Amino acid sequence: MSDVLAVVEHRRGSLRDVSFELVTAGADLVGDTGGDLHLAVIGGDVDAFAEELSLAGVDAIHTVAEGDEFNHDVYVQAVAALSEELDPTYVLMGNTVNGLDYAPAVAERLDRPLVTDAIGLQNDGGLVVTREMYASKVESTVEVDADRAAVTVRPGEWDAAEEPGEPAVEAFSFDLDESRVRSRVTGFEEVGSGDVDITDADVLVSVGRGIEEEENIELVQELADALGATLSSSRPIVDNGWLPKDRQVGQSGKVVTPKFYIAIGISGAVQHVAGMKGAENIVAINTDPDAPIFDIADYGIVGDLFEVVPELIEQFE
């Protein structure tokens, strides 16, 4: 028997997709050995969230009415208090930006080993977690040699739970130690809405670090022009200041769903793929035949962009 406590996420009034994926991951885990799946919903309109989360496989939902939005100091205290009460074998959290901001502190406070960014979970006698290393070039399995653990799961790896169920909903209260709330969220801002909206484009020509120099962006722009496409990019291009932030595709950039996404010199890091995997057709041009981008591509060219792109421009001139 092993109980699981999964901590859901919401932002600005809506549950985030990862919350429903956590339900599936948690239900799988308790399914392996028996045990209960508990959810924690902290902050915001907890009752409405609990209703939405009343899904098959969930045994109990614990609502913690504390604040409107995520505050890591509150989350850490709430999850620690709830864990102390329920003593779950596994605490599951999302490997999201907010997950990065509180999960390690939860694990540290509870003195549990932490495994982050899980893409697979197995529980037969002990917990075995599948994760990636070396920018997705290598996969590994990690066995947790402890009775209890904290795990964060990668968004998008588990199906979202949908089937309704009838879990018990209980309000959970604890003594919030205000002296340990030492950060204050003061607002949110949307970044960069310039003159180009890459989410609107039918065809995106997207450039990554393989382009090497700022001057070379011109070459990819020429291709975009020849195709009547819009230019977008992976993150390093924006970090270098070579293109504005509103051209960035990915987890922290824009989510795009064009008919064609042509990835040029982009490796296909998870955070990039999160923004473009919904494209109808994905073309990858990359010198490295093992680049993860080819795993999701429909069409692949293993080759040097500095040779392929000029030829491609010629085809359309």
Partner 1 sequence: MKVLVTVKEVAEVEEDFELDGLRVADQYLDYDLNEWDEYAVEEAVQIAEESDDDVEVVAVTIGPERSEETIRMALAKGVDRAVRVWDDALDGVDLLDVGAKTRLLSAVVEEEDPDLVLTGVQANDDSFGATGVSLASAIDFEWAAVVNALDLDADGGVANVRRELEGGVEELTEVDLPAVLTIQTGINEPRYASLRGIRQAQSKEIKPLALSDLGLDAAAVESDLVLTDVYEPETESDATYFEGDAGEQAADLATVLREKGVGAQ
Ligand X SMILES: Cc1cc2nc3c(=O)[nH]c(=O)nc-3n(C[C@H](O)[C@H](O)[C@H](O)COP(=O)(O)OP(=O)(O)OC[C@H]3O[C@@H](n4cnc5c(N)ncnc54)[C@H](O)[C@@H]3O)c2cc1C
Q: What's the closest the beta carbon of residue 315 comes to partner 1, in angstroms? A: 4
Q: Cα(55)–Cα(299) distance, rounded to whole angstroms?
A: 39
| From 26, 44, 155, 210, residue interacting with ligand X (rule: CB under 6 A) | 210
Q: Is 195 in the site for partner 1 (CB under 8 A)?
A: no
| From 32, 45, 52, 101, residue interacting with partner 1 (rule: CB under 8 A) | 101
Closest to 66 in 3D by CA, of 6, 10, 150: 10
Tokens 């930006």 sit on residue: 97
Q: Which is nearer to ligand X, 105 or 219 (CB)?
A: 219
Site for ligand X in 224-253 (CB under 6 A): 234-236, 248-253
272 binding partner (options ligand X, partner 1, none; Cβ < 5 to 8 Å by kind): ligand X
Site for partner 1 in 128-147 (CB under 8 A): 128, 131-146
CB atoms inside a 10 Å sphere around CB 42? 26
209 binding partner (options ligand X, partner 1, none; Cβ < 5 to 8 Å by kind): ligand X
Q: Which is nearer to ligand X, 56 or 185 (CB)?
A: 185
Q: Is 96 in the site for partner 1 (CB under 8 A)?
A: yes
265 binding partner (options ligand X, partner 1, none; Cβ < 5 to 8 Å by kind): ligand X
| From 209, 221, 240, 245, residue interacting with ligand X (rule: CB under 6 A) | 209
Closest to 222 in 3D by CA, of 124, 117, 317: 317
Site for partner 1 in 206-265 (CB under 8 A): 226-229, 235-236, 238-241, 245-246, 248, 251-255, 259-260
Site for ligand X in 187-206 (CB under 6 A): none
Cα separations (Å) of 277 from 5, 198, 247, 272, 301? 30, 15, 16, 9, 18
Count of chain residues binding ligand X (CB under 6 A): 28
Q: Which is nearer to ligand X, 91 or 291 (CB)?
A: 291
DSSP string, 75-118: HHHHHHHHHHHH--SEEEEE-SHHHHHHHHHHHHHHT--EEEEE
Q: Strand, helix or coil at 226?
A: helix
Q: Is 297 in the site for partner 1 (CB under 8 A)?
A: yes
Q: Cα(92)–Cα(286) distance, rounded to whole angstroms?
A: 36
Site for ligand X in 281-310 (CB under 6 A): 285-288, 291, 304-306
Cα separations (Å) of 55 from 21, 43, 178? 12, 20, 33
Q: What's the closest the beta carbon of residue 242 comes to partner 1, in angstroms? A: 11
Q: Strand, helix or coil at 299?
A: strand
Cα separations (Å) of 290 from 130, 131, 250? 19, 18, 20
Q: Cα(268)–Cα(10) distance, rounded to whole angstroms?
A: 27
Q: Give the binding range for ligand X (CB under 6 A) out of 73-81, 154-162, 187-195, 259-267.
A: 259-267
Q: Is 99 in the site for ligand X (CB under 6 A)?
A: no
Q: What's the closest the beta carbon of residue 310 comes to partner 1, in angstroms? A: 8
